[in-house]
Amino acid sequence: MRSDRTYSLRLLLTALAALALSEVARAEPPDVVVPAEMLAADQVVPPNADWAGARKAAIKQLIGLAHRSGPETLGFAGAPADDNAITVLYPIADAVILVEKLAQYAPQMPAESLLLRRPRLTFPVTVGDKVKSSFTLQRADGGSWKPVAFGSSNLIRAAVQARIKAAKAPSLVFPGQKAEYTLVMVSGLNQYFLYTKGPLGAHLTPLYDSRRYNWKAGDPLAARTVLMKMVDDAKHHNGLPT
């Protein structure tokens, strides 16, 4: 009997350790309030945007899903009545860092060389001035854009919060021009960042706290510093998703 209890305890401790390492369980971020000037500027769709039609279709799909599947699953407190009840912000670009590429990273390499940019754009959605949800468009081989994902409320709130902070920091983005913000996922290590580039070089802002890597969500860090902290884990990664 004692050996059974000991074995069960070992299983429990192993499970808890695995959870701590993977950091899958993450606290829900607080409400993110978008500054009025960002709300106004972000609603302007560039006249040459080839994704404008797909954006309009995705808004209708998002509202329909909120009514059919339940608004809470998409981040809303209640289903928006129509597209006048929400505001769609300017999209965030998308990239992934492959764990096998990260394993080969060295400090002298530019961070940009690791970014595998994907033909995807994620549009934050607000109700009033608060970020609630998002939708993602992906460009097909033929060049047309199609909606591929809806919701991701926690991730998009964290990303917009990081973007608001970066927009106020002259060192993180080049002033006087429309900055490009990129949502970056590190495959295999379950880490998410907002990538920016400015006068002081490339930065990665963690979107979630990490005890393992000792960084806080929303605190921008030099991209080289962030990448080097993960290199050892990348080298020993077993190739399975976390």
SS (H, E, C) 13-71: HHHHHHHHHHCCCCCCCCCCECCHHHHHHHCCCCCCCCCHHHHHHHHHHHHHHHHHHCH
Task: Write down the pTM of the prediction.
Answer: 0.85
How far is it, in rounded angstroms, from Cα 123 to Cα 58?
10
The residue whose two tokens read 């970020």 is 131
Q: What is the pLDDT of residue 22?
A: 43
The ranges of the chain with pLDDT < 50 are 1-3, 6-25
Which residue in this structure is represented by tokens 């949800």?
Answer: 133
Cα separation, 58 vs 70, in Å, equals 17
pLDDT tens column, 63-88:
999 999 999 999 999 999 999 999 99
Tell me, what's the pLDDT at 135? 97
Q: Going from the N-terminus, what domains does the chain have, and what CATH number goes with each?
A: 32-235 (3.10.500)
SS3 category, 224: helix
Q: What are phi and psi of 229, to 5 degrees?
A: -65, -25
How much is the pLDDT for 132?
Answer: 96
Query: How many angstroms separate the Cα of 225 from the Cα of each of 108, 110, 149, 155?
Result: 11, 12, 31, 22
